Structure formats: C-alpha cells, structure tokens
Amino acid sequence: MEKPLIIANWKCNPITLAEAKRNFELIKENTKTAEKVEIVICAPFVFLPILKPSENVKLGAQDCFWEDRGPFTGEVSPKQLVDVGCQYVILGHSERRRYLAEKTEAVNQKIKAALGAGLKVIFCVGSETKIPGEEMEYQLTEGLKGLDKRVFDRLILVYEPVWAISTTKEKVIATPKEAQEGGLYMRKILASLFDAETAKAARVIYGGSVDSKNIRGFLDEGEMAGGLVGAASLKSEEFIDIIKNACYPER
C-alpha cells in the first residue's frame, strides 16, 4: 500500500524569498522522521531554483507549458522545472481554469509534456456542484485523451470540489463521505476510459480546505490517498500537524 501523499500548494504566496526559504526549511526540519507519508511542496516559479528538496520533502511547481522551449513569453517548460529540482507539477487547478480561462484541451497538452519530461503530474479535476457529473467527466475524458494507462504510475488525480476550496467566498468544508463519492465517480469514469483494474489502482487524493483536523477523515472514511493542501499549507506549524496526523492515525 502506498504512503499518503500530502502536497502543499502555496499558490501566489509568500511575498518574500526569505519567508519561502524559512517555511520550506522549517517543514523539512520537522518532518525528518515522517517516513509514513510522502511530502511535496509546490511553490511559485521564482522560488523553485532556491528551495532545496530533501529525502523527505520533494519540490513541485504549480503549472508548466506544453513545449520544451521557444517564443512563449512568460511560460516555463517541464524540462526547465526538472533542471531546477522539481519532481512534481500541478496541472488543471480550478483557479487557473477560473481566473485564467485555462481549457481542458490545454491541460491535456501540458500533462503529456510534463510526463514526457519525467515529472509526476498532479491532475486536478473539479466540480462546481456537490453532485459529481458531466463537468468532471469532461475534464477527465479530455484531460487524459491520448494517454496510455501506464502513465498512472506517475499521474496523481485530485478530486477538487470547487465549492469547498479555501478561496470561495463562503468556506464550506466537504465531508469525508462527499470526498468518497467524488473519488468513486472519478474511478467510474476511469474504468470506462481504461479498465477496472486501472480505475481501482489509480491514486486519487482530495483537495478542498484540508487541515490538521479533517485530514484523517479524508484518508480513512473518504478513502483518499492523500491531500492537496492550500491555505493551511502557508502556516508551517499547521502543515506540519497535517503531516503528523496523516502519519499517525492515533493522534
């Protein structure tokens, strides 16, 4: 059985390099013995060359382009991310879809490029409504278009209920049961796209207002393989507590 995967998404935070380095080092120092969990911190592009991953804390980016190089002003390629020490990249996050009008077809191109460069992809699939439906089916179908089932050893799926993420006006936290329903729906789509074995083995984690109090519920009752942590990951002590609670069910 794979270890729970706990991913920090710092989004457009913090403001200074000094704070980014301090938070990153604090997390590394306080999770040296967290052998029962995998930890990834996805930081803004400008901090990536400075932050130094370790055996217990890996480095990830929050996006990438679909070409290796070229006249694409403002873009960062998957191979550039690999060169500065990244092992993971988040793609298809709901905030990019909402604020930057990112299309699923573009996400598909990015996934292929990132996998081709050797990165592990954290592919976010979300729903505006509490009942998973056509929106998620479209994102999965088009996002995974042209990919072979063998990519699932380097592809992590995130169930991201848009109505429950921390940037919504009224913070609503999903229940473990709602997370479980979202994950099961995703596996149902995967079974139709690939096969039942692939659907069952796929790594599906939860992303939506994760904190130290609810992480165990999402892992146990929700049957999630980990969590994508947004706002709570910006508070080092809280993120460390999330990791500890993911490691030790008895806490």
Burial level of 82, CB count in 10 A (0-12/13-18/19+)? Answer: middle
Contacts of 22 (CB under 8 A, 6+ apart): none
- Average pLDDT score over residue span 158-172: 74
- Average pLDDT score over residue span 53-65: 97
- Average pLDDT score over residue span 3-14: 97
pLDDT for the residue 166? 58
pLDDT at 251 over 50: no
- The percent of residues in the chain predicted with pLDDT above 70, rounded, is 95
| CA pair distance 242, 240, nearest whole angstrom | 5
Q: With contact defined as beta carbons under 8 Å apart, do 180 and 222 qualify? A: yes
Q: Is residue 135 among the annotated active site residues?
A: no
pLDDT for the residue 173? 81
DSSP 191: H
> Which of 16-20, 91-95, 152-156, 208-212 is predicted with the least confidence, judged by mean pLDDT?
208-212
User: What stretch of H or E contains 116?
Assistant: helix 104-116
pLDDT at 168 over 70: no
- Mapped onto helix, strand or coil, the DSSP state of residue 121 is strand
pLDDT at 167 over 70: no
48 CB neighbour count, 10 Å cutoff: 22
Position 8 confidence tier, pLDDT thresholds 50, 70, 90: very high
Q: With contact defined as beta carbons under 8 Å apart, do 57 and 41 qualify? A: yes
- The percent of residues in the chain predicted with pLDDT above 90, rounded, is 86
- Average pLDDT score over residue span 95-101: 95
| Backbone φ and ψ of 185, nearest 5° | -65, -40
- Mapped onto helix, strand or coil, the DSSP state of residue 95 is helix
Q: Is residue 223 among the annotated active site residues?
A: no
| CA pair distance 81, 87, nearest whole angstrom | 8
pTM of the model: 0.95
Position 132 confidence tier, pLDDT thresholds 50, 70, 90: confident
- Mapped onto helix, strand or coil, the DSSP state of residue 190 is helix
Name the active-site residue from 93, 102, 178, 181: 93
- Measure Cα distances from 192 to 103, 117, 204, 222, 243 in Å: 22, 27, 16, 22, 34
Name the active-site residue from 95, 137, 160, 178: 160
pLDDT at 171 over 70: no
Q: Which domains does the chain have, with CATH numbers?
A: 5-247 (3.20.20.70)
pLDDT at 1 over 80: no
Distinct helix (H) and strand (E) counts, the chain: 9, 8
Q: How many CA atoms lie within 13 A of 29 on its CB side?
A: 8
Least Cα distance to 173 among 124, 126, 131, 214 occurs for 214
pLDDT at 41 over 70: yes
112-126, pLDDT tens digit by residue?
A: 999 999 999 999 998
| CA pair distance 156, 149, nearest whole angstrom | 12
- Rounded to the nearest integer, the mean pLDDT of the chain is 94
Least Cα distance to 175 among 222, 133, 129 occurs for 222
